[in-house]
Amino acid sequence: MRLEQIQAFLTVAETGSFQLSAKRCDVTQSTISRQVQTLETILGVSLFHRTSHVKLTVAGECFIPRARKILQEWTTASTELQDLMDGKQLELCIAAIHSVCAYQLPPVLQRFCGEYPQVQLRVTSLGSDRALKVLKDGLVDLAIVMNNRFLTASPEMIVDKLYTEPVQVLMSADHPLAQDEEVPWERLVHYPQVVFKDGYGMQRLVQEQFQKQGVTLNAVLELNTLDAFRGVVRQGELVALLPLGAVADLLLDPTLVMRPTTEPVITRDVVLVTTSDRLQIPPIRRFRELVQMQMQRDIQADRQRQNQRSQDKLVLS
């Protein structure tokens, strides 16, 4: 069954004439007749009494409301799809790790809302593994996460590397390890750790590093918010391995310090992940562009700050 056959049937039913239907549809009368006959063959019934004035049969009367509904559904679906491709999307759902939500996303969200005021933005803070799962399940359109090549290896996945950042040790300012400029791994492994919960890429990254060191990670507490990490670490001897960007405002808190580790230094890659079909939709494509632009600005700003600190050290020396 084809759409033009449904349209031909409805037009003949409305006009009561194959000839008038042909004129309205801008085709030949034989074309209209053939489309209706083919539809009748498919359905196995006659739809019209073919007299001087074409009239619906009982089967035709029965079928006509269904035919109208089919045509209306098709029209509605076509309009919705065209609106989607024209950027008239009702909402855009984002999943991102906590640090990105806190620091990098706010200016992107503000600019996007200015460009697409009709699109409802929904942003959820999730661990990397969980964010990639809901992306695969179609619950979000885009995920900004710590890369996990095992979860992004599908052909339809589009992965943009945004930046790489070091993982350092968060501790209380009066912690014994705070005296070191760099924390040796042979000392770090003896202190109890605070780690992210399951579903967070950082937990897996830290566990893998301890395995490489041939020691067992002494994880005494699992958390899922950066504020909770700070509050717990501030209290005593617990330490946490965290990405440097996750505690970007740490300099404002004199009770906490971050220290790099000695070799090997752990790093994490933060990526933007979506699917190729979603990038055909203008708002999603634009959001991706805005994120990439913001990350480039942040990287340039970090380089300028590092250069300024280097110059300040030279002046002091």
List the beta bridge partners of residue 144: 96, 272
Residue type, 167: V
What is the torsional sign of CA 19, 25, 31, 34? negative
Distances (CA, A) of 127 to 204, 226, 310: 11, 12, 35
Cα–Cα distance, 258 to 80 (Å, whole number):
51
Digit-by-digit pLDDT tens for the chain (317 residues) are 788 888 888 898 888 888 888 888 888 888 988 989 998 898 999 998 887 788 899 998 999 999 899 888 887 777 667 766 766 667 899 999 988 998 899 999 999 999 999 899 999 999 999 999 999 999 999 999 999 888 888 889 999 999 999 999 999 999 999 999 999 999 998 999 999 988 788 988 999 999 988 888 999 999 988 889 999 999 888 999 999 888 877 768 899 999 999 999 999 999 999 999 999 889 999 999 999 999 999 888 777 776 766 666 666 55
Portions of the chain given CATH number 1.10.10.10: 3-85
Does CATH number 3.40.190.10 belong to domain 91-163+270-312? yes
Tokens standing for residue 24 = 């309205």
N-terminal to C-terminal alpha carbon distance within the chain? 84
CA atoms within 13 A on the CB side of 129: 11
Say if residues 185 and 261 touch (Cβ distance below 8 Å): yes
**Which residue ranges does the chain devote to CATH 3.40.190.10?**
91-163+270-312, 164-268
Q: Which CATH number fits domain 164-268: 2.40.420.20, 3.20.20.150, 2.160.10.10, 3.40.190.10?
A: 3.40.190.10
Q: Which helix (H) or strand (E) holds 173?
A: none
Domain 3-85, what architecture? Orthogonal Bundle (1.10)
